[in-house]
Structure 1
Amino acid sequence: MQLINGITLLLIYQLAGEVSVRLLGLPVPGPVMGMVMLFITLMIRGQMAKAVEPACTALLGHLSLLFVPAGVGLIVHFNRLGNEWLPISVTLLLSTIITMAVTALVMQWVTRLTARREPNHD
């Protein structure tokens, strides 16, 4: 029963994200807005994590199945990928490099931030 409650809660947040994006005209996918709303709720009220945990664990256990639609989309549009391989390759390469650089900068920032908060044990 806890699994069904957790999945229902996740779907409610997804619906709330879809509705808010459409009403406000935001350029963000509805499920992403729902995840942001869920994250904010979990930050404010920590006890809801117990209701969502069984559903999240079940979904993560079958995460590989969620990539099947993306794989089918690649096969369906295989000719288009062949025609536009250069812009796709450049975009993938640049986005990977930018993501790695931003991740490294954030890691350095967090490391410096946490180092300042720790007392010196000399």
Structure 2
Amino acid sequence: MIATLAIILSFQLVGEIAARALDLPLPGPVVGLLLLVATCILRPSVAERIRPTTLGLLQHLSLFFVPAGVGIVAHWGLLREYGLGLALALAGSTVLAIGAGALAFTAVARLTRSEDPSAMKAPGDD
């Protein structure tokens, strides 16, 4: 388990170094995760080695939200002051993202000439 955690954290460290050295617009942990996924695709033995530990981490994923909850409590004054604006921004951006996704789907459907939903058959619907 320690070796697996060392592998995961090493990828995070490499991602952090790469993101800072190359001035990437992505956070270091995201770069590290992309490198880890690429490694697991290219070398399935790495994926098999880290699988048991990662499944254990995923079973306790809710624990990773504890720091976020502490942050909310620690910044309660800011949330009281700017909470309404934050809530409106989150709700508005969610609606805009759903609308953009719907427009993109419609555009792709038109480009592929499958505007009619009944024209799109699932595999095995003969």
TM-score by length of 2: 0.73
Q: Distance between the aligned counterparts of 1:96 and 1:42, measured in 2?
A: 33
Instruction: State the secondary structure of the residue aligned to 1:84.
Output: helix
Q: Distance between the aligned counterparts of 2:125 and 2:19, measured in 1?
A: 50
1:61 and 1:99, CA in 2 relative to 1: closer, same or farther beyond 3 A?
farther
**Which of 14, 17, 39 is 2:15 aligned to?**
17
Q: Gaps spanning 5+ residues in structure 1: where?
A: none
1:4 aligns to 2:6 (yes or no) = no
Deviates more, 1:76-85 or 1:42-51: 42-51
1:89 aligns to 2:87 (yes or no) = yes
Instruction: State the secondary structure of the residue aligned to 1:31.
Output: helix
Q: Which amino acid aligns with 2:72?
A: L
Q: CA deviation at 1:56?
A: 0.6
Specify the alignment match of 1:69 in structure 2.
67
Q: Distance between the aligned counterparts of 1:4 and 1:39, measured in 2?
A: 20
Higher relative contact order (CA 8 A, sep 6+): 1
Q: Distance between the aligned counterparts of 1:30 and 1:46, measured in 2?
A: 23
Identity of matched residues, %: 37
Q: Gaps spanning 5+ residues in structure 2: where?
A: 115-119
Q: Distance between the aligned counterparts of 1:87 and 1:21, measured in 2?
A: 31
TM-score by length of 1: 0.75
1:8-51 Cα distance to aligned partner (Å, 9 max, x none) = 11011000011001111122211111101111112222222111
Total equivalences in the alignment? 112
Q: CA deviation at 1:98?
A: 4.5
Instruction: State the secondary structure of the residue aligned to 2:45.
Output: helix
Q: Distance between the aligned counterparts of 1:96 and 1:10, measured in 2?
A: 32
Specify the alignment match of 2:33 in structure 1.
35
Q: Structure 1 or 2: larger helix share? A: 1
Larger radius of gyration: 2
1:99 and 1:57, CA in 2 relative to 1: closer, same or farther beyond 3 A?
farther
Q: Distance between the aligned counterparts of 2:46 and 2:93, measured in 1?
A: 35
Q: Which amino acid aligns with 1:69?
A: P
